[in-house]
Amino acid sequence: MSPCIKINTSEIEFFDQLEAGGEALAHADLVSSMDNTTMQVHADQKGSSSTKKRWVSTWVQTAGFPLLMIPICVPYLFKFTKRVPFTDFTPRMLILSISIGVMLGFNNLFFSWGNSYLPVSTSALLLSSQLLFNLLFSVIIVKQEITFSNVNCVILLTLSSILLALDSSHERPQGLTQKNYFIGFFCTIGAGLMFALYLPLMEKIYKKVNCYQMVMEMQVIMEAAATALAIVGMTWDGGFSEMKVESQMVFDKGSRVYWVTVMGNVVTWQLCFMGTAGMVFLTSSLTGGICMTFLLIMNVLGGVVVFRDAFGGIKVVSTFLCILGFCSYICGIYKYNQMGEHKLAPTRNKNSSDDSSTEMIHIVSR
């Protein structure tokens, strides 16, 4: 069965919810898919290979977590809901949120480390390897059912990553050693592995959450923990003072462009987390992972347009496999949705008939 469609009324109603609010979440993921390209603008500047720059990139991924207070508090302030923010948290949920947040912080560090060495297109498509791990962890943690559509999608997207890795040696930045290239390569794979674990863990926790507002509250706590880890690293390594020096003396686009780049990362990463959390909450961790992997194509195109990364031969085939895999998954979701509606039709008709009979009984009794 598709991870998105289960044969019950609540899951069929997901598509109604998706029409109402899911498009905004999808748009958030679309905008945030350009984060990797934006970070590469920062990483491409002189001196960007130092550890300090990686801590800065790690910090900006979660430093904008106070922005999430807007969707949390606005509904309550304007009387759209009576639920008071942060009132449903249990000590267990708080501990889980902090623990996963620390893991998210290390995931961000690995992502920044790999991104500082690899071309943006290579880094983006390598991250699609997280889908294989995502499927495995989803089966173990949330009992994800394996179907032809999701296995076919995972295989195609993973094959896309393998083809890219075999063809990417000629794209190494000038002066990058073999050792640093492999460090970047395995850090990116490690980031994908941790993110693949993060998604099903969140799906399992979200099953006990009854509204998107609470999802955002958990996200605030997780990102606060990840930001605290990054602040410790930046303080220890002098990252904050380095940001000021870099903006004035190193960043060749000028100080204003530097801070615009940093703030752009801060905002778009929050859109990324909002979109990902919403997709996992409304559908499943596997669906969220597949959507994000598909949107990595935007990073590939961004790398080609902005940084003139080579885009031919195997990379074209790799991108085509990404699109093919995603389309096959969407087709699988559609088929299972149709199957679910057909199975629910007799039940709906029976309930409608029962309601009509009950109504007639009341009329006759009058």
pLDDT level of residue 117 (50, 70, 90 thresholds): confident
Q: For residues 302 and 297, what is the distance between their CA atoms, to the nearest angstrom?
A: 8
- 278-314 pLDDT per residue, tens: 889 988 888 888 887 777 666 666 777 777 777 777 7
Report yes or no on 17 lying in a domain: no
- What is the number of domains present in the chain? 1
Give the C-alpha separation, 261 to 40, whole Å: 10
User: Does 97 map to a domain?
Assistant: yes
Phi, psi dihedral angles at 56 (to 5 degrees): -65, -45
Task: Give the model confidence (pLDDT) of 160-209 as tens digits.
Answer: 767 766 665 555 666 677 788 788 888 888 888 898 899 999 999 988 88
Residue 357 within any structural domain of the chain? no
Residue-number span of the structural domain to which 104 is assigned: 28-346
What is the structure's pLDDT at 51? 58
- Domain contains 61: yes
Mean pLDDT of 312-333: 81
Residue 49 lies in a domain: yes
Separation between Cα atoms, residue 3 and residue 287, nearest integer Å:
7
Handedness of CA 111, 51, 66, 260 (dihedral sign): negative
Three-state secondary structure along the chain? CCCCCCCCHHHHCHHHHHHHHHHHHHHHHHHHCCHHHHHHHHHCCCCCCCHHHHHHHHHHHHCCHHHHHHHHHHHHHCCCCCCCCCCCCCHHHHHHHHHHHHHHHHHHHHHHHHHHHCCHHHHHHHHHHHHHHHHHHHHHHCCCCCCHHHHHHHHHHHHHHHHHHHHCHHHCCCCCCHHHHHHHHHHHHHHHHHHHHHHHHHHHHHCCCCCHHHHHHHHHHHHHHHHHHHHHHHHHHCHHHHHHHHHHHHCCCCHHHHHHHHHHHHHHHHHHHHHHHHHHHHCCHHHHHHHHHHHHHHHHHHHHHHHCCCCCCHHHHHHHHHHHHHHHHHHHHHHHHHHHHHHHHHHHHHHHHHHHHHHHHHHHHC
Mean pLDDT across the chain: 74
- Asked whether the predicted pLDDT for residue 24 surpasses 50, the reply is no
Top pLDDT among 240 and 234 is at 234
pLDDT attached to residue 363: 34
pLDDT the model gives residue 14: 36
Q: For the residues 39-54, what does the mean pLDDT come to?
A: 51
Cβ contacts of 145-148, under 8 Å, gap ≥ 24: 145/1, 145/3, 147/1, 147/2, 147/332, 147/336, 148/332
Q: How many whole angstroms separate alpha carbon 258 and alpha carbon 47? A: 14
Determine the pLDDT at residue 224. Answer: 95
pLDDT value of residue 223 = 94
Task: State the Cα–Cα distance between residues 316 and 301, nearest whole angstrom.
Answer: 11
In a domain, residue 358? The reply is no
Residues 230, 10 contacting (CB under 8 angstroms) = no
Residue 361 lies in a domain: no
In a domain, 360, yes or no: no
pTM of the model: 0.72
